[in-house]
Amino acid sequence: MQSTLQRVTDSLLAADVGSMWTRVLLIDRVEGEYRFIARGDVPTTLEPPYSDIAEGVRAAIREIEANTGRQLLEDDGDLITPEGVDGRGVDLFLVSSSAAPPLRVAVGGLVGRVSAASARRAALSIYADIIHTFSLDSPLGRWGHPREALGVVEQLLTNWPDAIVLAGGIEGSSDQDLLELVDAVGLVLESSPERAAPTLIYAGNSDRQDDIQERLANVPLMITENIRPTLADERLRTVGRLLEQQFRARHLSRLPGVERLRSWGNNEIIPTVEAFARVIQYMALSQDKRVLGVDLGAANASLAVTFPNRVAQTLVRTDLGIARDPEALIQKIGAEALATWVPGFSTPQELVTHLMNLLLYPAQQPMTRETLLLLQGVAREVLRLLIQDASGAWPTHYPGLLPPFDIILGSGTVIREAPRPAQALSIMLDAIQPIGITHFLRDHVSLAPTIGALADFAPHISASLVDAQGFESLGLVIAPVGVAQPGDEILRFRLTQADGITEGTVEYGQLYRFATTHQTLLELRPLRGFDLGLGPGVGAEFSRVGDLVGFVIDARGRPLAFPSNLQARRRRVEEWLLYVGA
């Protein structure tokens, strides 16, 4: 199939159906290379009066037709495929989506911070809501409830899941406590035949598999490898894949209008986060780099990360979508933390009131500077929480800090549509707080889902789009690691540009920006044992041209330090925005 696609595909349309926006991209071959041609953006038509996602896709395609003068749809609204000799239609049609409701998952394990935590991470690799967590050592009582196993029964009956993941016991252990939880789950499922049975996945000690099968003989059961065979070994992929299959079958494939879209391309609709992860995986493997991608959507916040010799790992937080549940989101962020990033409001409560009113109409574009900074502040805090949740499992040689990343790709409306590229970089830099030398990119046309959707069966097109710099280059950030006092000199630099050479020092606690509009050479020599990611005191030089922001030296230290006073914090943030050009 792949070779056939490589022979015949000259053009394609790729739709990404989000909870709020539906975007369709037209890709065509230009002088032998695949290029982005046009995009159509319309509100998603999942809800009444349309209740059909195909209507939104059609509207986005008509927008492309109007902008390009190219006919893509028949008079009856169906897609013209394959492309004709007259240029009408396209050869290929693909769909990704994040619009389906998340899978409702209950997780259980012997130890909350070990097996139950691993089950949670596996579930959050897809679009899932964790509705129950049961662990033997819960501070709320055995299995997380004062009534112990009976409490498990009551909770499941009250809040019915789509899937249940049970884990616990390293390989070779003799602990049988998990069987108590298994019996409680089995009792619930066997006594409720009128309900759609949840998928039950056992991913614990393999020595208990026979016991599990015997106790759950009348319950649909999947048994897979131990998610935590040793304390140091975590295997999330298999459970994540099983849950993704359930998400596709129970929710994604049942979106209204999906059958019509499938008939246009004869391809399965894939989750947007999976498409995004494929892009990150490709960038990491093709360039031998450590790559992090973040995507801040209206209903979900997600990331994908790839380290050398590892498959891409994903994290999806359905509770951190910027527009899904504004009140709950503000509670998670905290009004005081959000107020740090937003001047112009006299009190945090005034800010919260304004944000609640703003998010009643989340598709509306920000009309004032205060509103723009407010949304960007929310994006920072959402991204901070996302990174905080994921980073505990990442390998790092710097205690208490993130591992260095070679590339960070940012996506999502707030990042993509930031009026100044420096604002997009600043959001990611403040929230992620990377160390070492990092190239920041922005998915400015929402190309990542298209590239990812193509990766399995047309990798040559995916590669062409990435290699053709389908993402905007924001700039190169250098964040040295070390300890100093504000004002201490920690780096010496030499900047060579067409109009001359500039030499100087970098002070701890400050931000510096150097434009790369023309060819620019930056030479750095660390002082006081500071580390650029190459080893303490080891210098480096970089030559770049054409970045939208340029070189940024982030000498603020890690983690970022803030004054205790709100107004002082706001003044510091204003200075940072000024220094970086945001």
475-487 in b/e burial notation, b at 16+ Cβ within 10 A?
bbbbbbbbebeee
Give the single-character DSSP code of 347. S
Round to whole Å and give the CA distance between 497 and 511. Answer: 20
Contact 108, 134 (CB under 8 A): yes
Terminal Cα-to-Cα distance of the chain (whole angstroms): 47
| C-beta atoms surrounding 23 within 10 Å | 23
Contact 366, 372 (CB under 8 A): yes
Burial (0-12, 13-18, 19+ Cβ within 10 Å), 544: middle
Q: Which residue has the tokens 């929710």?
A: 251
Q: So what's the pLDDT on residue 356?
A: 81
SS3 12: strand
Amino acid identity, position 142: R
Strand partners, 128: 103
Domain map (residue ranges) of the chain:
2-99, 103-250, 273-580
Domains 2-99 and 103-250 share a fold: no
* CA dihedral (24, 28, 33, 37) positive or negative: negative
DSSP 455-498: TTT-HHHHHHHHHTT-SEEEEEEEE-B----TT-EEEEEEEEET
Q: Of the candidates 126, 353, 154, which has an alpha carbon nearest to the alpha carbon of residue 134?
A: 154
Round to whole Å and give the CA distance between 157 and 153. Answer: 6
Strand partners, 408: 292, 440
Q: So what's the pLDDT on residue 8?
A: 64
CATH domain 2-99 topology = Nucleotidyltransferase; domain 5 (3.30.420)
Q: Which residue has the tokens 């992860």?
A: 277
The half-sphere exposure of 351 on its side-chain side, counting CA atoms within 13 A, is: 24
The half-sphere exposure of 396 on its side-chain side, counting CA atoms within 13 A, is: 17
Q: Which CATH superfamily is domain 103-250 in?
A: Response regulator (3.40.50.2300)
Cα distances from 44 to residues 19, 97, 446, in angstroms, run: 6, 11, 15
Token representation of residue 285: 């493997």
SS3 91: coil
Round to whole Å and give the CA distance between 490 and 537. Answer: 10
Round to whole Å and give the CA distance between 40 and 535. Answer: 47
Per-residue pLDDT of the chain in tens (582 residues, 90 and over written 9): 343 344 468 899 999 999 999 999 999 998 888 999 999 999 999 999 999 999 999 999 999 999 999 999 999 999 999 999 999 999 999 999 999 999 999 999 999 999 999 999 999 999 999 999 999 888 888 888 888 888 888 889 899 999 999 998 889 887 778 888 898 888 888 877 667 889 899 999 999 899 899 998 888 899 999 999 999 899 999 999 999 999 999 999 999 999 999 999 878 899 999 999 999 999 998 889 999 999 999 899 999 999 887 888 999 999 999 877 878 888 898 888 888 998 877 777 888 888 888 777 766 777 788 889 989 999 999 999 999 999 988 988 888 899 999 999 999 999 999 999 999 999 999 999 999 999 999 999 999 999 999 887 788 888 888 877 789 999 999 999 999 999 999 999 999 998 899 999 999 999 999 999 999 999 999 999 999 999 999 999 999 999 999 999 999 999 999 999 989 999 999 999 999 888
Cα distances from 552 to residues 55, 208, 290, 307, 547, in angstroms, run: 44, 54, 19, 24, 11
Residues 6+ apart with CB under 8 A from 115: 109, 135, 167, 168, 169, 204, 227, 228
Token representation of residue 568: 């002082």
Q: Do you find a cis peptide bond into 563, omega within 30 degrees of 0?
A: no
Q: So what's the pLDDT on residue 466?
A: 85
Q: So what's the pLDDT on residue 6?
A: 44
| C-beta atoms surrounding 396 within 10 Å | 12
Token representation of residue 123: 């579930």
Burial (0-12, 13-18, 19+ Cβ within 10 Å), 547: buried
> Is the whole-model pTM more than 0.85?
yes
Q: So what's the pLDDT on residue 467?
A: 78
Element housing 16 (H / E): strand 11-17
Beta-sheet strands, E only, within 142-249: 163-166, 199-202, 221-223
